[in-house]
Structure 1
Amino acid sequence: MGILLFVFRLFLVIKGIYGAPEVNQPRPFFVFGDSLVDNGNNNFLITPARADIFPYSIDSPSKLPTGRFFNGLNIPDIISSVFPCFFYTYMPCEHIGSEPVLPFLSLELHEEKLPLGANFASAGVGILNDTGFQFGEIIAMPLQLEYFKVYQQKLSSLVGEEKAKDIVNRALVLVSLGGNDFVNNYYLVPFSTRSLQYTLPEYVIYLVSEYRKILMKMYEMGVRRAILLGSRPLGCAPAEIAQHNELSGECSTDLQAAAELFEPQVDQMVKNLNAELGTEVFISASTRLMYFDMMNNPQAYGFVTSKSACCGQGAYNGLDFCNAYSNLCENRDELVFWDAFHPSERACRLIVEKIVNGTDDYMRPMNLTTIMYLDSRV
């Protein structure tokens, strides 16, 4: 109790001297990217890349499918929601202090909700426009940015141009891109068009250069603080283990090599881009390393396994989409993966803990706690 009291008093002193982030005012939040952050946009599209069937969202409050490719909340939900975390170890705090933002295509995104932000993500998309073509009607990145422009026009009509600009400038942005450019493009089939066009190192250089263009476009549209989720250990998803190494249970070496090339080059691109802009607009989140912590020693994080999915078919439950006829584990908290590609809600929470408080091994050049503190001083 003595230590707890000391930490509590230290927190009050620090808070009194330096101030604290404003958590009572919801911070606008925008989300772009793929299925790791899509919270329902694909429900409104003609595409097989949908998660609007049971048992997706089985652990959500309603128990009904929401369009998230998870058993419950996903990473942007957890970041944006108000929930107990620990600032300076023991003090409960808030992350962004807002409710989860709505999909841009949702009819519920009306005037009252517009200033809170919006989610533009779409399962299946990548950095490149041709990534995910097999999924039919998805919201590729140029269209996500076009929708962002439409959003800003609607917001300007509601609150005025200057206020709308301020909302966008103050917002936190989350971006998840890159994984599908390997899984659903370069390595989609043997001798794919992209693999014949580029060697893997050449393809990574091309991807990073195209990613930079997307980020610059976001900056031009008013984005001033964005967290970029990394590539994940792509070859270690249950789908890839089942497809490539069913007998050994080892990760796919090709996809692992791709992720290991891609993430450091994105980090360097972000560093160079921030230097060019003269401010730290873009933040690299090494989700690949965050996953590896859980996968290399799942028991240390309370998981039973990191190889098998909770919901699926075949070896490691890694075949096909999760559906009503799939195998379904009883305790979703015991597995790192919910389905063949996506983490469980509990794994998402552990990833968000690293986003919030992680060292520069995980978050470069700063974590979300630092972002919130610095931005509250402006």
Structure 2
Amino acid sequence: MDQRQPLVSALYLFGDSTIDPGNNNFLATIVKSNFPPYGRDFPYGQPTGRFTNGRLITDQLSELLGLPDLLPASLDPEFQGQKLLTGASFGSAASGYADSTSIPLIYSNEGPEISSDLLYLQNVLPLERQVKNFRLYKVRLAKQFGHETANRTISQALFAVSGGSNDFANNYFINPLTRKKYTIKQFQDLLLKSLTVFIQNVYNEGATTVAIVGLPPFGCLPSQITLHNILENKCVEEFNEVASSFNSKIKALLKKIRPNFPGALIAYFDIYDKFFDIIKSPNKYGFEETRKGCCGTGLLETSIACNPRTLTCPDPSKYVFWDSFHPTTKCYYYISSRGMRTVTETIRMLNIQ
């Protein structure tokens, strides 16, 4: 716990595996990481459900804000008592802005179709459900500490959402049903609509400071290179262009809708440029391997494919990626350091207390 006066009352996170500290542990889903080698560099080598070798950006941000240095999962039974006052992550790995991102497919003779029988394989929390869980949390907070404390805590908190990569990498570009229904522009607009609804929902619940995290260059993820550009063995430029254009649309959207949320600060948090620079100039940051993750071959393994029987690299600090989809803790630090400091300095100037 940072001994400084916290810059915000609490931190509330929504989104996907980049900010899920273990909510999926408590869901009937195979999309988990609460087993070794995940958590290898976490205190005591404990696998917590974080999709990396140590701490997430959420933990680093929480510490910078003067809050506990480990942000809890909202579904964790231990998230109670005084812990309710400093926030939690409501995120769920494998989720996205679009509800369809968390629905698996099966393939029959007639082609791909949604499988209700296989829903338990994914069964993760889409963004709308995460907000519903926040509302339930708000009731708990008010019941234990009173409505005045609950309202003050929420109004002085930082809300953030990080998502979108799964919508493209694990939905649009592999799901023929989605591509048949939407052009890439239409799908981007669908996601922006969902993002707008999210902002409206948390604003209605009392949020006054909201950060929207942009997409990374997901075409450089090892899994995407393996699946879509194995012959050239380099970043999928089409995917990176989609990420870049979507980020531009987020910024344009926020500029347009800010007047609709009087009294609120809605900020964009860029991670694309720093992430891309790390991949293109790894030596500047002390990395040696950018093409594959530390776990297994590093080309496709993630979640249950990265398990206690999977060999890992000797030194994750040399790797940009922990598995084929998620960065190492060290990479998360570099991706987020400048942006997080911008966020904290902005909050200081606004004197949010």
Whether TM exceeds 0.5 here: the answer is yes
CA distance in structure 1 between the aligned counterparts of 2:238 and 2:180, rounded to whole angstroms: 15
What CA RMSD, in Å, does the superposition of the two structures yield over aligned residues? 1.9
CA distance in structure 2 between the aligned counterparts of 1:78 and 1:273, rounded to whole angstroms: 29
Greater RCO between the two (CA within 8 Å, min separation 6)? Answer: 2
Whether the 8 Å CA contact 2:10–2:156 is kept in 1: the answer is yes
Indicate the residue corresponding to 1:194 in structure 2. Answer: 178
Indicate the residue corresponding to 1:113 in structure 2. Answer: 83
In structure 1, list runs of 5 or more residues that go unmatched. Answer: 1-21, 82-93, 358-366
Whether the 8 Å CA contact 2:20–2:90 is kept in 1: the answer is yes
| Structure 1 residue 291 corresponds to structure 2 residue 266 | no
Indicate the residue corresponding to 1:3 in structure 2. Answer: none
SS in 2 for 1:31: strand
Whether the 8 Å CA contact 1:312–1:340 is kept in 2: the answer is no
SS in 2 for 1:226: strand
CA distance in structure 1 between the aligned counterparts of 2:264 and 2:174, rounded to whole angstroms: 35
Indicate the residue corresponding to 1:267 in structure 2. Answer: 251
More displaced 10-residue stretch of structure 1: 271-280 or 130-139: 271-280
Aligned residue runs from structure 1 range 1-378, under 5 A:
23-25=4-6, 27-81=9-63, 94-134=64-104, 135-189=121-175, 192-279=176-263, 281-313=265-297, 316-320=298-302, 321-357=305-341, 367-376=342-351
In structure 2, list runs of 5 or more residues that go unmatched. Answer: 105-120
More displaced 10-residue stretch of structure 1: 279-288 or 210-219: 279-288
1:247, CA displacement in angstroms? 3.2
CA distance in structure 2 between the aligned counterparts of 1:317 and 1:377, rounded to whole angstroms: 44
CA distance in structure 2 between the aligned counterparts of 1:240 and 1:370, rounded to whole angstroms: 35
CA distance in structure 2 between the aligned counterparts of 1:196 and 1:207, rounded to whole angstroms: 16
TM-score scaled to structure 2, two decimals? Answer: 0.89
Whether the 8 Å CA contact 1:27–1:96 is kept in 2: the answer is no
The number of residues matched between the two structures is 333
Whether the 8 Å CA contact 1:60–1:73 is kept in 2: the answer is yes
CA distance in structure 2 between the aligned counterparts of 1:247 and 1:128, rounded to whole angstroms: 31
Indicate the residue corresponding to 1:364 in structure 2. Answer: none
Deviations 1:21-52 (A, max 9, x none): x9324731111110000000000111111001
* Residue type at the aligned position of 2:55: L
Indicate the residue corresponding to 1:14 in structure 2. Answer: none
CA distance in structure 1 between the aligned counterparts of 2:263 and 2:4, rounded to whole angstroms: 23
TM-score scaled to structure 1, two decimals? Answer: 0.83
Deviations 1:329-356 (A, max 9, x none): 1111111111111111001111221113
Whether the 8 Å CA contact 1:127–1:181 is kept in 2: the answer is yes
Query: Which structure is larger by alpha-carbon Rg, 1 or 2?
Result: 1
* Residue type at the aligned position of 2:170: N
Whether the 8 Å CA contact 1:76–1:174 is kept in 2: the answer is no
* Residue type at the aligned position of 2:103: F
1:98, CA displacement in angstroms? 2.5
More displaced 10-residue stretch of structure 1: 337-346 or 301-310: 301-310
SS in 2 for 1:312: coil
CA distance in structure 1 between the aligned counterparts of 2:140 and 2:154, rounded to whole angstroms: 12
Whether the 8 Å CA contact 1:304–1:335 is kept in 2: the answer is yes
Whether the 8 Å CA contact 1:310–1:317 is kept in 2: the answer is no
* Residue type at the aligned position of 2:223: A
